[in-house]
A and B are shown apart, each in its own frame.
Chain A
């Protein structure tokens, strides 16, 4: 046992020092790579916090519906509230990299598909990455097949799939003046250029730009109205439905049956602090996500660039960038687009042309893996989680068996599909946008909860069936 602990600590040190050496090598090659290194270490920090707090967005709704446990839902909402305040501070000081996305029902539809997928796969997009770091290969299947390959195929396929696109979208897409080789074949291109780009973007602070002076619009509009009040409302609903009954019962036994507002507030506080580990990590994740934006913005100012693609071009890597001169560089915590790039990179090695669609050719580019900044954030998450799992003596290499292959594959593919129409996953589409005053975040969140609810119903039936078989012999 002691040997195992010692071995785990050594591995944690090896991984950390390897990343330090890699970071120094990047610095030696070119100072611009500090941009990529910053992503890596923020990813590393996210990975450590996600693993230590067992922080998974899939668990937030799944454990609530399946087991009546609100731990993770509380953690996510706490993180969201803290992050919204920091987002507001950054916006007020003009240091934010956040931008809202086109709003519409596509967000909720996409969220439902993603919600189904994350429960089946046993982890959301960020959760799956940190679980890979714990040695969980079921989640690796979900990441590689679904989030990487699945997404890349999803944004590139045309042929029969073009027929599902309404003619109005097709006409609108063709009128945008995009190169014909990009827009001609590919359902996702027509969806993006013919539908998504026509939708308005809304940020709550913009609605208050006349009525609230100065920076107050960010604090009251984006943070308070856009994130904190909805999060508090959800916390009250969770408390009322899942926690109140048992808490009040115990409370009545102690104080002789009288219950007042103080007891209800104590019940809420008890729910929030029930899993100190998760709630504390929620606070830290919220703060770190804000600091991440600040650092990326600082590096953009220092290097006089708004996208890492500009730095790649300066370094002579012109093939890495899109026709717009960009690569995928969100400037904040994001998960799925870089996985799609990784999938496309693999498929290109097998001769698949990935440069004939909007997603890669125009919006995100397709950089070499070692020069892909956001991909390094994902690698950082995996290694950060691996270090923390090693330090907690919880690392265990687990290969999927039997049904887990099915859940990993199916869940991963659904997560991949559910990430793209919304232009993001549980992090990019829900967490970042909800905290930034973009109502899209909540539209996606509602979808995720609906999808998770359906998947939990299915798993309840499935486990009941398997338990019945086990109990036959009793």
Chain B
């Protein structure tokens, strides 16, 4: 099982942690944001419901902005801008 962290465009990344359970989605989200520069965006895709609440609070506390939250067939897709 592999985590996917890819560059989708200029300043835009995709982190796909579908299939992973706690604590992996939140840990990979945190680590991805640490690797990115301020102002860059990452689309985080996950399907573990309890990670949603933690990722939201993680962003609030660390000053990142969640630009978009979508739900597609049991998948959560969050677009996060690094603060």
Chain A positions near chain B (C-beta within 8 angstroms): 1, 4, 51, 54, 56, 58-59, 62-63, 66-72, 119, 122-123, 127, 131, 134, 136, 138-139, 242-243, 246, 274-275, 277-278, 389, 392-396, 398, 401-404, 456, 459-460, 463-464, 466-467, 470-471, 474
- Which residue of the partner chain A has the closest CB to B71? A393
- Which residue of the partner chain B has the closest CB to A121? B21
A404 B21 Cβ-Cβ under 8 A: yes
B58 A470 Cβ-Cβ under 8 A: no
B47 A59 Cβ-Cβ under 8 A: no
Give the CA-CA distance A68 to B21 in the complex, in Å: 18
B81 to nearest A CB, angstroms? 17
Instruction: Name which of B2, B19, B24, B57 has the most chain A CB atoms within 10 A of its CB.
Output: B57
Q: Which 10 interchain pairs have the tightest Cβ spacing?
A: A402-B1, A396-B74, A54-B50, A122-B21, A470-B5, A122-B22, A401-B1, A394-B49, A69-B57, A463-B27
A-B contact pairs, 7 of them (CB 8 A): A59-B54, A69-B58, A392-B49, A460-B27, A463-B31, A466-B2, A470-B4
B74 A394 Cβ-Cβ under 8 A: yes
B26 to nearest A CB, angstroms? 5
Given contacts A51-B49, A66-B23, A274-B57, 18 further A-B contacts (CB under 8 A): A54-B49, A67-B26, A68-B61, A69-B54, A122-B23, A131-B50, A393-B74, A396-B74, A401-B1, A402-B1, A404-B1, A404-B19, A459-B24, A463-B3, A466-B3, A467-B28, A467-B32, A474-B7
Residues of A within 8 A of B22 (CB): 56, 58-59, 62, 122-123
A257 to nearest B CB, angstroms? 19
Residues of A within 8 A of B47 (CB): 396, 398
Give the CA-CA distance A158 to B7 in the complex, in Å: 56
Chain B 51-75 interface 0/1 with A at a Cβ cutoff of 8 Å (1 = within)? 0111011101111000000010111
B19 A398 Cβ-Cβ under 8 A: yes
A67 B54 Cβ-Cβ under 8 A: yes
A63 B35 Cβ-Cβ under 8 A: no
A4 B26 Cβ-Cβ under 8 A: no
Residues of B within 8 A of A68 (CB): 58, 61-62
Tell whether B30 is near chain A: CB-to-CB under 8 Å. Answer: yes
Give the CA-CA distance A219 to B57 in the complex, in Å: 34
B57 A71 Cβ-Cβ under 8 A: yes
Give the CA-CA distance A4 to B58 in the complex, in Å: 30
Which single member of A58, A134, A402 contacts B49 (CB below 8 Å)? A134
Give the CA-CA distance A59 to B71 in the complex, in Å: 22
A73 to nearest B CB, angstroms? 11
Residues of B within 8 A of A404 (CB): 1, 19-21
B27 A67 Cβ-Cβ under 8 A: yes
Chain B positions near chain A (C-beta within 8 angstroms): 1-5, 7, 19-24, 26-28, 30-32, 35, 47-50, 52-54, 56-58, 60-63, 71, 73-75
Residues of B within 8 A of A401 (CB): 1, 19
Give the CA-CA distance A396 to B2 in the complex, in Å: 19
Instruction: Name which of B24, B27, B71, B75 has the most chain A CB atoms within 10 A of its CB.
Output: B27
- Which residue of the partner chain A has the closest CB to B5? A470
B56 to nearest A CB, angstroms? 8
Give the CA-CA distance A119 to B27 in the complex, in Å: 12
Using A54-B49, A467-B3 as known contacts, say yes or no to A63 and B21 having CB atoms under 8 A apart. no
B8 to nearest A CB, angstroms? 13
Give the CA-CA distance A459 to B31 in the complex, in Å: 12
A251 to nearest B CB, angstroms? 14
Which single member of B3, B21, B75 contacts A470 (CB below 8 Å)? B3
Residues of A within 8 A of B30 (CB): 66-67
Residues of B within 8 A of A67 (CB): 23, 26-27, 30, 54, 58
Residues of A within 8 A of B20 (CB): 404
B53 A275 Cβ-Cβ under 8 A: yes
B21 A54 Cβ-Cβ under 8 A: no
Residues of B within 8 A of A136 (CB): 21, 48
Give the CA-CA distance A180 to B1 in the complex, in Å: 50
Residues of B within 8 A of A463 (CB): 3, 24, 27-28, 31
Using A66-B23, A243-B61 as known contacts, say yes or no to A467 and B49 having CB atoms under 8 A apart. no
A395 B24 Cβ-Cβ under 8 A: no
Residues of A within 8 A of B31 (CB): 463-464, 467
B52 A54 Cβ-Cβ under 8 A: yes
B61 A69 Cβ-Cβ under 8 A: yes
A126 to nearest B CB, angstroms? 12
Residues of A within 8 A of B7 (CB): 474
Residues of A within 8 A of B26 (CB): 63, 66-67, 69
Give the CA-CA distance A466 to B30 in the complex, in Å: 13
- Which residue of the partner chain B has the closest CB to A134? B49
B74 A395 Cβ-Cβ under 8 A: yes
Give the CA-CA distance A85 to B73 in the complex, in Å: 41
A131 B21 Cβ-Cβ under 8 A: yes
Residues of A within 8 A of B1 (CB): 401-404
Using A246-B61, A466-B3 as known contacts, say yes or no to A459 and B23 having CB atoms under 8 A apart. yes
- Which residue of the partner chain A has the closest CB to B48? A136
